[in-house]
Structure 1
Amino acid sequence: MRLYINLINFNSNKLAGVGYFFKRIISNIDFGDEKWNKFDEIILLSNTNVDCLTLFDINVNVKIRVVKFSFLHNFAFRILFEQFVLPFYLMKGKNVVFSPTPSIPLWAKLLNKKNVLISSIHDMIPFRVDNKYSFLRSLYIKGLSKKAAQNSDLIITVSEFSKLDIVEITNIESSKIKVIYNFIPEFKFSSESISEPYFVTVCTIEPGKNIENMIIGFNNFLNKNKEFDFYKYKIVGQFGWNYNTIISLIKDLGLEEKVELMGYLSDVDKNKVIENCTGMIYLSKYEGFGIPPLEAMYFDKISIVSNISSLPEVVGDAGIVQDPNDTVLLADNLKKLITNSDDFRANIKYQIGKFNPQIQINKFVEIITFYS
């Protein structure tokens, strides 16, 4: 039996959320363990643009073989390969196909009923957030996500919220979906960081992240609390679509000296910004998980998060939860974050324990080796 891992979606050395999630799991797996003996070969399907072993820090094993394709950096060619060529690779014997994304060969089971398909669907953003993708790309991702959910033998997702959302949209049985929480293996809890007078948000800088309301709420906070008018607001993340509207809002409110768009930062620099902040603001209107508030907890920082999607699940009783559209309430909660956060901070260690890295890694190993 062979295990195929489909990595051809990853065509650059810059990883985003889905890529980081997979890397945190795969880099901590020992393929020499006897649980993996059932596979005669582990085949990594990769794009020639990247060295997937290095990119994902995969522990090399004699069973692992990398197969690279030179033309798959093209979006259209990749789709054609996955759906109309890859199934023919899987016609003989029993094969397990795992994808860290919804991109599985949908016809593989028609050509060989022994094949086992395991996909990953982190969220249903295309169905919930308008203008996130172009029309054609949105149409493709919606169709692929639905078909992947329906055709997969098993689906991995990152929160109980996402599990419910997938069931609602695709009308599949919830028993097909297994939750593996996001986690941060390289972080250790520390309560020794200092708190400088600024709040932070870590996200792609685009309208879909509700940055406008966070900026307006911060402005309300400054206007209502003159004793805290020295506070600043730092937004960390690469610039996405239509970010000029956010820059215009900052100028219109006269916050050029108060709100800093820091752009993309290295992990080291980003972590330093989180470590030294007073607290995090994360009022996204839709998240499959939402890892920045978890990162903040490792530095003993609390977050103000939306009361919708997965975010209440992530922070539990260790964060302030509110309506993402209520900018007046945000102003009050920012003051609470400064003056009265000890009750929330007392719950941080317990909440972090829910996302124990080894438990999540073991879940993944069990899914691939047992359910196959």
Structure 2
Amino acid sequence: MKKVIAVNTRILVSGKLEGIGNFTAEIFKRLVKWNPDYEFHFIFNYPFDDEFIFGDNVTAHVIQPPAKHPLLVKIWYNFSLKRVLKKIKPDVFVSPDAITSLTTDVKTLTVMHDIGFAHRPQDLPLSWSKFYNKYSKRFAQKSNRIATVSEYSKKDIIKTYKINPDKIDVVFNGVKESFHPASPQKITELTNNQEYFFYIGSLHPRKNIINLLKGFNQFKQKSDNNVKLVIGGDFLFQANEIKFTLNDLEHKSQIILTGRLTDEELNTWLSGAIALSYIPHFEGFGIPLLEAMKCNTPILTSNVTSLPEVGSDAAIYVNPESIKEIAEGMNKLYTDKNLRAELIENGQKRLKNFSWEKSAQLLWDCIQKTIHS
């Protein structure tokens, strides 16, 4: 008799995949292909794109209500989802977005990428901050197993929620194969041969954009150069504070906001940069570090949470709360060509530890443990 795996795929929205969405898509497209003798049920919250139906062994379900508010999320997981799971009768329910049903009797595997909201509740809108801080521990306790994306996050979940370490598996993120060093011609066409530091990601409070802007401004004040800061990503929560800071900077004209980028544009901007400047307050993993390594780009990043674990010796680390350290890190990378070459070489070695194939196998092992728990 075929094993049945139900998967929460509400995070799979065409053209809007972020970190968790990419994790879900990259891993399950492999698991579906590798395991044709398993039956997968993908459970969506909205009409879905066929690109996410990764094989003939996938059955799709769309259930209501559209869960854009914490109250609707509770209804979706605890009532609508419960009914569908009762009908499907899966051997396991996998939820990659850190939320699970508290009412189902089905064995559950929940992927908790990080619990940054427990340490920095101010980085989320109030309703979501309250929701996660009220229910996340219960999700962890309810789940038969938990997967998370770094050793840092595993230790954090154990310490914060008092969860048995044997219940948690680490499933690292991978990086898209499409990332590669862009050709000099492509870089010239897009960047006009400018020198620049590059940030990629949402413009979100926890990404520490304000200190990045101030650090770059200080770097410019102390160094006579034509270097720009290019920021690729969309404004999210608390956008006005970032905009006010930007408008007050002496060197605001040297900062370029690209908005959301295509994968090709991102690859080219990243390939041409002096360094990736990714200095968040908190991170559960840090996929942009791997993307920079793939593009042969040095890295300036934070010395906190999971980032030293992921970056290893392929990055320069600074205190994300110190504008002075951020400016000094930029200056160090800008002026030391040998250091940049060393970081690039170290990045190529570090990359060998990460791939979506390895990630998919790790999650599959976790799924099997859950089924047989």
TM-score interval for Structure 1 and Structure 2 normalised by the shorter chain? 0.7 to 0.9
Quote the residue 1:141 is aligned against: 132
| Residue 12 of structure 1, CA deviation | 6.4
Contact 2:182 2:268 in 1 (8 A): no
Contact 1:124 1:166 in 2 (8 A): yes
Contact 2:298 2:343 in 1 (8 A): yes
The question of 1:95 aligning with 2:83 is answered no
Instruction: Name the CA shift for 1:268/1:251 in 2 (closer, same or farther; >3 Å).
Output: same
- Per-residue CA shift, 1:318-343, capped at 9, x if unaligned? 10011112222222221221232233
2:123 is paired with a residue of what secondary structure? coil
Instruction: Name the CA shift for 1:170/1:347 in 2 (closer, same or farther; >3 Å).
Output: same
| Residue 10 of structure 1, CA deviation | 4.8
Quote the residue 2:142 is aligned against: 151
Where do 5+ consecutive residues of structure 1 fail to align? 110-114
Letter in 2 for 1:245: E
Contact 1:12 1:49 in 2 (8 A): no
Instruction: Name the CA shift for 1:335/1:11 in 2 (closer, same or farther; >3 Å).
Output: closer
Contact 1:167 1:173 in 2 (8 A): yes
Contact 1:8 1:78 in 2 (8 A): no
1:127 is paired with a residue of what secondary structure? helix
1:66 to 60, 68, 88: 60
TM-score norm. by structure 2 comes to 0.88
CA distance in 2, matches of 1:9, 1:351: 29
Between 265-274 and 125-134, report the one with greater CA deviation.
Answer: 125-134
1:214 to 212, 216, 226: 212
| Residue 355 of structure 1, CA deviation | 1.0
Between 42-51 and 309-318, report the one with greater CA deviation.
Answer: 42-51
The question of 1:4 aligning with 2:6 is answered yes
Contact 1:13 1:50 in 2 (8 A): no
Instruction: Name the CA shift for 1:182/1:84 in 2 (closer, same or farther; >3 Å).
Output: same
Between 122-131 and 66-75, report the one with greater CA deviation.
Answer: 66-75
TM-score norm. by structure 1 comes to 0.88
2:297 is paired with a residue of what secondary structure? coil
Quote the residue 1:331 is aligned against: 327
1:235 is paired with a residue of what secondary structure? strand
2:47 to 49, 57, 64: 49
Quote the residue 2:155 is aligned against: 164
Instruction: Name the CA shift for 1:130/1:47 in 2 (closer, same or farther; >3 Å).
Output: closer
Instruction: Name the CA shift for 1:69/1:85 in 2 (closer, same or farther; >3 Å).
Output: closer
1:27 is paired with a residue of what secondary structure? helix
1:105-144 equivalences in 2 (<5 Å): 105-109=101-105, 115-144=106-135
Cα RMSD after superposing both structures: 2.3
CA distance in 1, matches of 2:121, 2:314: 30
CA distance in 1, matches of 2:125, 2:101: 23
1:225-304 equivalences in 2 (<5 Å): 225-226=223-224, 229-304=225-300
Between 356-365 and 151-160, report the one with greater CA deviation.
Answer: 356-365
- Per-residue CA shift, 1:133-186, capped at 9, x if unaligned? 222221112233211111111111111111111111111011111111111132
Between 296-305 and 243-252, report the one with greater CA deviation.
Answer: 243-252
1:131 is paired with a residue of what secondary structure? helix
Letter in 1 for 2:124: Y
CA distance in 1, matches of 2:316, 2:262: 27
| Residue 247 of structure 1, CA deviation | 2.3
Contact 2:33 2:54 in 1 (8 A): yes
CA distance in 2, matches of 1:182, 1:317: 18
Higher normalized helix content (fraction of residues): 2
1:71 is paired with a residue of what secondary structure? coil
CA distance in 1, matches of 2:15, 2:194: 33
Q: How many residues align?
A: 357
Percent identity for Structure 1 against Structure 2 = 28
Contact 1:24 1:184 in 2 (8 A): no
| Residue 370 of structure 1, CA deviation | 4.7
| Residue 192 of structure 1, CA deviation | 6.4
Letter in 1 for 2:63: F
| Residue 131 of structure 1, CA deviation | 2.2
- Per-residue CA shift, 1:201-239, capped at 9, x if unaligned? 11222333211221222122122222xx21000111100
The question of 1:173 aligning with 2:168 is answered no
1:282-361 equivalences in 2 (<5 Å): 282-340=278-336, 341=339, 342-361=341-360
CA distance in 2, matches of 1:32, 1:359: 13
Instruction: Name the CA shift for 1:81/1:239 in 2 (closer, same or farther; >3 Å).
Output: closer
CA distance in 1, matches of 2:312, 2:143: 31
Which consecutive aligned stretches of 4+ in structure 1 deviate over 6 angstroms post-superposition? none
Quote the residue 2:222 is aligned against: 224
Instruction: Name the CA shift for 1:281/1:362 in 2 (closer, same or farther; >3 Å).
Output: same
